[in-house]
Structure 1
Amino acid sequence: MSYLEKGPCQPYEHDFPRRPMGNDNRCFRKEWFSEFHWLEYSIEKDAAYCLHCYLFKPDRGSQGGGHIFTKTGFRDWKHKKTLKDHVGLFDSSHNQAFAKCTNLMNQKQRLSFRGHDESEESLNRRNLIEVLNWYAARCKEIKEVLFSNAPGNDQMTSPTIQKDLINCCAVEMTRAIINEIGDSLFSILVDETRDNSMKEQMAVVLRFVDKSGRVKERFLGISHVTDTCAQSLKDAIDVMFSTHGLSISSLRGQDYDGASNMSGEFNGLIALILRENWHAMYVHCFAYQLQLAIVSVARRNCMVGDFLDVLAIIVNLVGASCKRVDALRTSYQANILEKLNAGELTGGSGQFQEMSLARSGDTRWGLHLLTVTRFINMFNAIIDILENISEDGVHSDKKSSTLRQMNNMQDFEFVFSLHFMFEILAITDDLSQALQKKDQDIQNAMRLLNLCKCALQNLRENGWDTLFSRVIEFCVDRHILVPNMEDIVVVKGRPRRVAQQVTYFHRFYVDLYCHVIDSILQALNDQFPETTTELFTCISCLSPRDSFAAFDKDKLLRFAQFYPLDFNSEELLLIRPQLDKFLLLVRMDETFFNLNSISCVAQKLIETRSFCYFPLVYRLLTLALILPVATASVERVFSAMNLIKSDLRNKMGDIWLNDNLPKTPPFDELEILVKLLKPSPRIIKLNTDGCLKCSKLAARGRVLRHAED
C-alpha cells in the first residue's frame, strides 16, 4: 500500500537517452506519463514498466505483454501502440490488476467492523476484534486493560460498543473534513435516490480548494428524506449544515442532475438556496446533460428509437439466464477460434477476452457504448443463441418472438443503426468520462464540449462514406441482404399511394444519418446554454493554454463583480494592478509554462508561494475552481450505499448506514480506531480495579471522551 501511495516513478525532468531504432534515434517520451498514468520509468535500465501489473499481474500467459511490463521492461520506443495494447479491453489483465490496486487503496477508507460470527472459534471475526488482538500484542496497557483485568462483558467487543466506535470514527472523519475546508468557500453536489429498503436518501458532497491549490470533493453525509419536494431537501441540507457548523453564506455553487424538484425556476431547491445566498451559482450536471442530449435526442428519430428498443429486448433475452450467458460465451469463443484458424484474425496480447452483453440505461454513463461495442463483436454468437432459443423453446409465443428478433438483427437497417450509434457514442464517450473526474474545472469541460461538437460536425461532413463501407462489409460477411440505395423504400404499414416516395439512400443518409447528428448538435447547444453566459466567458479568461492567450483583464474584473461578498470596492480597484503583474509572472516564469488547466495554475501559485503576492487573483482562481461540473461523486456514494445496504442488510438504520459509508479525510479509520482504543490513565485504573461497567463504555459521549484522551 505504501508503494501505491507514492505512485509510479515518473522522472519528468530526466534527460532520456536516445538509442538507434531503424533509421532514427528514439527515446522515451515524457508526454506518455500524462497519457498512461500507470507508466513507470527506470533511469538505471532505461525501460518502462506498469506499476499495477508489477504488483498484481495475474498469471495469464502473454496477456498484457507477458513479462515486458513487469520484469524485462518495455524499451521499444518506436511502437507507442504497445502501451495502448497493454491496457486492452475492459476485463484485460492490466485492468484487473488496476482494479486490485484500487480496491487495496479503498480498503483503508472503511473498516468492516462487525462480523456475523465473532466467537473465538470463528476464522473471520471481522476487523474490530482482529485489530484489538493485533494492538494488544503490541501494547501492554491494552492487553492488561482489555484481556487480563477486564471481565468478559467489559472488553469493548459487544455490538453496542462496536456501533459506538464506528459512529466515533464517522464523527472524527467528518470533523477532519470540516477542518480541511476551514474558512474556505465551497460548493455542494446534491442528489437523491432510493436505498434497498425503499427509503429516499439524499447525499451531499462538498467541493472546495484545499491549502495546496487542489480541487477536492468530500462526501459530507447521507440523510433520509420523507419526501423529495424541494423544501424537504432544503430542510435536510440546513440540518446537515447546522450539525457540522457550515454556513450557507460560504456557498458559492450548487450542482444537481436537473430534476424538477432540484432545478425548478421558482420553487426548486436552486431557488430556495438562491433566496438565502444569491452567490451560490447553479451549474447543471454536465455529464447528465451530455447523456440525455445524446440518447434522448437520438431516440426521437423513429429508426434509432426502434433500434434501441430491439437492442434492449435482445440483450434481455440473451442474458435471461446463466445458461444462455455461458452458451453465448462458448459460441463467441468458437467463432474467434474459427477465424483465427482461417487466418481472418491475428492473435495478440489482451485480445478476444471473455465477455458478455451489458444492459444499458439512459442515465448510466458509458453503458450504451459498452452494449453496442459488445453487440458488434458478438453478433454471430448472438445469432447462434437466438437460433438455439427458438429451436429449444417450449411455448410458441416465445419461439415467434425470438425468431422476430433474429430477423430484426439480420435486417440492414438494424446493422446500419448499430454501427452508426457506435460512431456517435464513441465520439462522446471520452467527454463523458472526462466530465466525471473530481478535479475537472469549468474551462476544461467547455473545451472538451467544443471538441465533441467539432468531432460530430466532422462526422456529419466526412464520415458517411467510411461508415457506409464498414456496414456493407459487415453485412456481406454475415450474408445480410444489402438493398440498392437507388431503389424506392416501401414504408411498412402505409399504402404505397399514400407513403412518401424516397430512396434507401435518402432514408439512411438524410432521415437517419444527418437528422440524428444535426439534432444532437442542436441539443448540445440548447442543453449547454452556459457557453453563452457572461460568467463562463469570464472564467475562460483564466485558461493557461498558449501562454494565457485568452487572458482578458476587463472580463476578469467583471468576474470579480459577480461576487460582491468576496471583493469589496477597494479590492476591485486593487485587483487591476495584481492582474497585470500576474500576467507578467506567468509569461516570464518557466514554472507556469505548458500548463493545461486552471487547477494547475492554482497549484503552481501555492508551490512557488506566489499566492502571497497575488491574493486577489488566487481568490478568483478558487471561485472558478469550486464551481462543480458533474455529480459523479454523489453517484459513487450511491454505489457504495448499494453495496453496504444490500438485501442481507436492508434493515439497517439511517445513522448506521451513514456511519458505514466511506469518507476520504486526510487520514484513515485505522488511525482513528487506534486513537479510540488507546486508554487514558483513568480508564486503566478503573479496569484494573474491575469497577468499570460495559454500560458506561457504551455511552457515545464516553467513547468520544476516550478519543479526546
Structure 2
Amino acid sequence: MEKQTLEQISNNRLRLKTSVNAVRWLTFQAYAFRGHDECPESRNRGNFIEMVKILATYNDDVAKLVLENAPKNAKYTSPQIQKEILHVLAGKVRSKIREDIGDAKFCILVDEARDESKREQMALVLRFVDRDDFLQKRFFDIVQVKDTTSLTLKNALSTVLSHYNLSVQDLRGQGYNGTSNMRGAWNGLQALFLNDCPYAYYVHCLAHRLQLALVASSREVIPVHQFFSKLNFIINIIGASCKRNDELQFTQAAEIAHLIALDEIETSRGANQIGSLQRPGDTRWSSHFDSVCSLIRLFGLTCSVLRSTIKDESTCFQRGDADSAFDIITSFEFMFILHLVKDIMGASNILCEALQQKSQDILNAMHLVLTTKNIILKLREDEWNNLLGVVKSFCERHNIDVPDMSAPYTKGKGRPRHPQENILLEHHYRIDIFNGTIDSQLQELNNRFSEKVVELIVLSSALDPRDGYKLFKIDDICKLANNCYP
C-alpha cells in the first residue's frame, strides 16, 4: 500500500467494493457463488462472476478496471477472496447481534444435521430481549463438529459463546429436538448445560414433540404402521407416472363438470379445485392428514385409474403393482384404518397448525394440548359405532365387501390367530386397532407434554407484555419464582 499511488489505491477500492456488493447480494438471496466452469470462454461463469458483469454494464469504471485491466494479483474475484469477504460480513453481523444482546439473558436453539459433503454441522440460534424490549430470534452461527455426542456439541457451543463474551451463567433456556444426545436427563446436552447453569431450562420444540408423539403412536400398532407403508405405495403408483397422474386429474375434471351440470355441487371462486393425491412428509404431520383426506376425496377416481392401469399398461411390473395397490385399497381393514387415522389426526390437526405458526400465543397452545387430549378421549369412549357406520357406508358405496363382525378373526387367509381365545373381528377392530391406536396416542401426548414443562410455560406467560400486561398475575409470578428460580 505504501508503494501504490492514490490512483492505484482508488482502483483497488473500486474493485473490492464491486466484489463486496456482489457477495452481499448473493448472500441475502441465498444463491450459490460458484459455477461449474468459470473459465473466460464459459457462457455461464457462476453467479458471482455474472453479477460482477452485470454491475459493469451500469458503471464504465467497473467494466474497465475490474473486468478488463485488473492486475492478476488484485482482481478480488477469486474463490478465496469471496470466502474472506463472506466471513468478514458474517463477523460483522454476529458482532451486531452481540451488541443487541448486551447484558441481557438469552436462550439458545440448536439443531445438528449432515450436509451434502457428509460433514456434521450444528446450527445455533440466539433468542433474547433487546434493549428496546422486543423479543428477537437471530441465527448466529454454523459450527462443524467431528461427531454429535453431547460433550462435543457442548464444547463447540461453549467455544462460540465465549468467543463473543456470552456467559453460560446468563443462559436461561435451551431448545433442541428430541434425540437422546440432546434431551438425555443425565448425559444429554441439556443436562450438561444445566450442570453449569441450573436456570437454563430445556424446552423441547413443541411442534416437533407433537410430531414424535403422533409418529410413535402409529408405530405402536402394527396394522397402523403397515397402513402408512401401504398408503405411500398407493400414492407412488399414481404419482410416479405422469400418465396416471394426468388421467386422475382429467377424470376428476370430467366428474366435477358433470356434477355442476346436474346442480349437485355449488360453484364459487376457489371451489372445486382439481387436486391430486398428497404425499405425506416425514417432518410435517399435517401432511399425513392432507394425504389421508385426499385419498378419501379421490377414492373412486383412484380405483378407476388403478383398474385402467391393470388393463392397459404395457409392462407386467406396472400391471402387477397396480393390481397389488387395488387389492390393498379395496380391503375393509385399509378402509377402517383410513377413516380412523383421519378422525384422530383431524382432532390433532388444529394443534399441529397452531404450534407451527410463527407468532404463537403459547398459553393458547397449552390449552389446545389439553383440548386435543379430551377430544381424542371422547373419540375412544363415544365414537366407535359412528366410525364403524361411516366405514360401512363408504364401503357399500364403492362395492367393498364388509365382513361380519361376529365372525372369528383370522390373520390373512389362514386359521384363526388365537383359536383358543375365540377372538372376533369386532374385538380385533375395536380393541386391537381402535382402542390400541387411541391409547398409544394419549400415552405419547401425556409423556411428551409433561406437566413440568407445561407449568413453566404457563407461569411464564404472566410476563407477556402484550395488551398492557393483561396476563400479569401476582400469584403466578410468585409461584414461578418459588418453583423455578429460588
TM-score (norm: length of structure 2)? 0.79
Contact 1:205 1:217 in 2 (8 A): yes
**1:295 is the counterpart of 2:215:** yes
Say if 1:141 and 1:402 are closer, same or farther in 2 by CA, change over 3 A: closer
CA contact (8 A) 1:491 1:499 kept: no
Closer, same or farther: CA 245–562 of 1 in aligned 2, 3 Å: farther
Counterpart check, 1:285 vs 2:201: no
Q: Which amino acid aligns with 2:456?
A: L
Of 114, 128, 131, which residue of structure 2 is paired with 1:194?
114
Report the residue type matching 2:237 in the other structure.
L
Q: Counterpart in 2 of 1:490?
A: 409
After TM superposition, the structure 1 = structure 2 runs for residues 576-595 of structure 1, keeping only pairs within 5 Å, are none
Deviation at 1:428, TM superposition (A): 1.5
Give the match for residue 357 of structure 1: 277
Partner SS for 2:302: helix
Q: 1:233 aligns to what?
A: 153
d(CA) in 1 for partners of 2:139, 2:470: 36
Please state if 1:415 is matched with 2:335. Answer: yes
Whole-Å Cα distance in 2 between the matches of residues 335 and 184 of structure 1? 62
The alpha-carbon distance between structure 1 residues 380 and 252, as it changes in their structure 2 partners (threshold 3 A), is: same
Choose which of 237, 246, 255 in structure 2 pairs with 1:317.
237
Q: Is the 8 A contact 1:207 1:218 kept in 2?
A: yes
Deviation at 1:281, TM superposition (A): 0.6
Specify whether residues 237 and 447 from structure 1 end up closer, same or farther in structure 2 by C-alpha distance, changes over 3 A only: same
Give the secondary structure class of the aligned counterpart of 1:241.
helix
Aligned counterparts of 1:184 and 1:109: Cα–Cα separation in 2: 31
- Cα displacement (A) at 1:484: 4.9
Counterpart among 224, 249, 253 of residue 333 in structure 1: 253
The 5 A counterparts of 1:88-103 are none
Moved more, 174-183 or 119-128: 119-128
Task: State the percentage of identical aligned residues.
Answer: 38
SS of aligned partner of 2:193: helix
CA distance in 1, matches of 2:140, 2:207: 22
Assess, with a 3 A threshold, how the Cα gap between structure 1 residues 143 and 248 changes in structure 2: closer, same or farther: farther
Q: How many corresponding residue pairs?
A: 459
Residue 520 (1) aligns with residue 441 (2): yes
- Given that 1:262 and 1:269 are in contact with CA atoms closer than 8 Å, whether structure 2 keeps it comes out as yes
The partner residue of 1:457 within 377, 380, 396 is: 377
Amino acid at match of 1:276: D
Aligned to 1:471: 391
Asked if the contact 1:113–1:126 (Cα under 8 Å) also holds between the matched residues in 2, the reply is: yes
2:460 pairs with one of 532, 535, 539: 539
Q: 1:147 to 1:481 in 2, by over 3 A?
A: closer
Which sections of structure 2, spanning at least 5 residues, go unmatched? 1-25
Which residue in the other structure is 1:623 paired with?
none
Kindly state the Cα deviation for residue 129 of structure 1 after the two structures are TM-superposed.
Answer: 5.4
The offset of 1:280, in angstroms, is 0.9
Q: Distance in 1 between matches of 2:431 and 2:469?
A: 42
Give the Cα–Cα distance (whole angstroms) in 2 for the partners of residues 353 and 230 of structure 1: 49
Cα distance in 1, alignment partners of residues 471 and 88 from structure 2 = 49
Does the alignment pair 1:406 with 2:326? yes
C-alpha distance in 2 between matches for 1:340 and 1:441: 42
What is the deviation of 1:252? 0.9
- Please give the secondary structure, in 1, of the residue aligned with 2:280: coil
Gaps of 5+ in 1: 1-105, 568-709
Higher relative contact order (CA 8 A, sep 6+): 1
Measured in 2, the distance between the counterparts of 1:136 and 1:216 equals 40
**Does 2:47 align with 1:126?**
yes
Q: Is the 8 A contact 1:128 1:162 kept in 2?
A: no
Distance 1:424 1:157 in 2: 57
Q: Deviations over 1:322-360 (max 9, x none)?
A: 444444434443444444445443343223434443433
Aligned residues of 2:409 and 2:428 also touching (Cα < 8 A): no
C-alpha deviations, 1:484-529, integer Å up to 9, x for none? 55x3243234438816445555544444334422332232112211
Q: Distance in 2 between matches of 1:300 and 1:393?
A: 37
Question: Residue 474 of structure 2 aligns to which amino acid in structure 1?
Answer: K
CA drift of 1:407 comes to 1.7
Whether 1:257 and 2:177 are equivalent positions in the alignment is: yes
* SS at 1:283 equivalent: coil
Q: Which residue of 2 aligns with 1:35?
A: none
1:174 maps to 2:94: yes
Deviations 1:599-635 (A, max 9, x none): xxxxxxxxxxxxxxxxxxxxxxxxxxxxxxxxxxxxx
Map 1:511-660 to 2 at 5 A.
511-531=432-452, 535-536=456-457, 538-539=459-460, 541-542=462-463, 552-561=473-482
Partner-residue secondary structure (3-state), 1:272 = helix
Measured on the aligned residues, the alpha-carbon RMSD in Å equals: 3.8
Alpha-carbon distance, 1:253 to partner: 1.0
- Give, in angstroms, the shift of residue 108 of structure 1: 4.4
Query: Structure 1's 168 and 540: CA in aligned 2 closer, same or farther, altered over 3 A?
Result: closer
Q: Deviations over 1:137-171 (max 9, x none)?
A: 47x98788757985476443343333332233222
The answer to whether the 8 Å contact 2:32/2:47 transfers is yes
Contact preservation (8 Å) 1:295, 1:362: no
**1-side partners of 2:116 and 2:34: how far apart?**
20
Residue 370 of structure 1: how far off its partner (Å): 2.2
AA matched with 1:241: L
- Asked if structure 2 preserves the Cα contact closer than 8 Å seen for 1:488 and 1:501, the reply is no
Measured against aligned partners, the alpha-carbon deviations of 1:412-433 in whole angstroms (never above 9, x if no partner) come to: 2212211221122122122222
Residues 1:387 and 2:307 aligned together: yes
Q: Secondary structure at the match of 1:418?
A: helix
CA distance in 2, matches of 1:360, 1:497: 35
User: What one-letter code is carried by the residue in structure 2 that aligns with 1:162?
Assistant: Q
CA contact (8 A) 2:53 2:67 kept: no
Contact between 2:366 and 2:454, CA under 8 Å: does it hold in 1? Answer: no
CA–CA separation in structure 1 for the residues paired with 2:273 and 2:99: 47
Could you tell me how far apart the structure 2 residues matched to 1:467 and 1:534 are? 35
Instruction: Return the offset for 1:537.
Output: 5.4
The answer to whether structure 1 residue 306 and structure 2 residue 306 are counterparts is no
Task: Report the Cα distance in structure 2 between the residues aligned to 1:532 and 1:251, rounded to whole angstroms.
Answer: 17
Structure 1 distance, partners of 2:233, 2:397, is 24
Q: Aligned AA for 1:249?
A: Q
Conserved? CA contact 2:366–2:458, under 8 Å: no
**3-state SS of the aligned residue for 2:202?**
strand
For 2:474 and 2:372, the matched residues in 1 are separated by: 29
| CA-to-aligned-CA distance 1:4-52 (integer Å, 9 cap, x gap) | xxxxxxxxxxxxxxxxxxxxxxxxxxxxxxxxxxxxxxxxxxxxxxxxx
1:235 Cα deviation (Å)? 2.0
Residue 559 (structure 1) shift: 2.0
Give the Cα–Cα distance (whole angstroms) in 1 for the partners of residues 437 and 99 of structure 2.
50
Distance in 1, matches of 2:72 and 2:80, equals: 15
Distance in 2 (CA, whole Å) between partners of 1:495 and 1:400 is 29
- Other-structure match for 1:706: none
1:62 aligned residue: none
Contact 1:185 1:208 in 2 (8 A): yes
Cα separation, 2, equivalents of 1:143 and 1:211? 45
2:203 aligned counterpart, secondary structure: strand
Alpha-carbon shift at residue 373 of structure 1 (Å): 1.9
C-alpha distance in 2 between matches for 1:547 and 1:488: 64
What is the identity, as a one-letter code, of the residue corresponding to 2:416?
P
Deviations 1:178-205 (A, max 9, x none): 2232322111122222222222222222
**Partner of 1:432 in structure 2?**
352
Compared CA separation, residues 545 and 171, structure 1 to 2 (3 A): closer
Deviation of 1:259 after TM superposition, in Å, equals 0.9
1:601 counterpart residue number = none
* Alignment-derived partner of residue 687 in structure 1: none
The question of whether the paired residues in 2 share the 8 Å contact of 1:215 and 1:439 is answered with no
For residue 153 of structure 2, give the secondary structure of its aligned residue in structure 1. Answer: helix
What is the rounded CA distance, in whole Å, between the counterparts of 2:466 and 2:139 in structure 1?
32
Secondary structure at the residue paired with 2:137?
strand
Residue range with higher mean Cα deviation, 142-151 or 205-214: 142-151
